[in-house]
Structure 1
Amino acid sequence: MTSMADDVVVTNNPDRNRYEARLGDEVAGFAAYRLSSGLIAFTHTEVEDRFEGRGVGSALARFALDDVRDTGEREVLPLCPFIKAWIARHPDYRSLVHVAPDGEVEP
């Protein structure tokens, strides 16, 4: 399988509360989120079956987390198992993760 990550265009679609990865005119995947004061909770990431294993999910995660970092307005609450695992594999994004008042990383 070849990587398609360089061909993936990721944008934020705030009307649908999700980041979308497109290949041409087709949505190849998305990362859904919920916003609250100071937090962005990533709730679900989905990649169309035919695009699995081609870097679409990683492109989504990287773009979304870079966008959060660039705005500097929110911390990340990684409820989605994919986003949570992606952050665990990329330690330079751990500083974005919300830490509960008791010092525990959520969730």
Structure 2
Amino acid sequence: MTEASRDPRDLRYEDQKDASRYALFDGDTLLAVIDYRDDGHSVSMTRAFTVPTFRGHGYAGVLTEFAVADLEQRGDRQVIPMCWYVAEWFEKNPERAGILRAA
């Protein structure tokens, strides 16, 4: 199985609250992170980063999906997409815009 065809369910997601980031792993290998700031009402997603070796396989999108789903499930935060990648992800997924903080 190539990385590009890897089933996202085989990957491990973490909300690393102490580091203020969501992280995506394949086993113990870090693939991508989304850094954030949580003020108790909203989560500002400040940076999406994929480890250069793993770029081009959709891992940032998979991680963004996880982070948004996690926040939607919690139901107590809105999202502020400070990072261009996260902002573009919401543009491509307008059905998820209900979690965005109004400007």
Q: TM-score, normalised by structure 1?
A: 0.87
Question: Structure 2 residue aligned with 1:99, among 93, 97, 102?
Answer: 102
Instruction: Work out which of the residue numbers 40, 43, 50 in structure 2 matches 1:40.
Output: 43
Partner of 2:79: 76
What amino acid does structure 2 have at the position aligned with 1:45? Answer: A
The alpha-carbon deviation at position 11 of structure 1 amounts to 1.3
Give the unaligned 5+ runs of structure 2: none
Partner of 1:27: 30
| TM-score using structure 2 length | 0.90
1:104: which partner in 2? Answer: none
Q: For structure 1, which runs of at least 5 residues remain unmatched after alignment?
A: 101-107
1:5 Cα deviation from its structure 2 partner = 5.0
Q: Distance in 2 between matches of 1:37 and 1:27?
A: 27
Q: Deviations over 1:51-89 (max 9, x none)?
A: 111121011100000001000001000001111100110
1: CA distance, partners of 2:83 / 2:11: 21
Report the aligned-residue RMSD: 1.3
Identical counterparts, % of pairs: 25
On the 8 A contact 1:78/1:84 being kept in 2, the answer is yes
Corresponding residue for 1:3?
Answer: 5
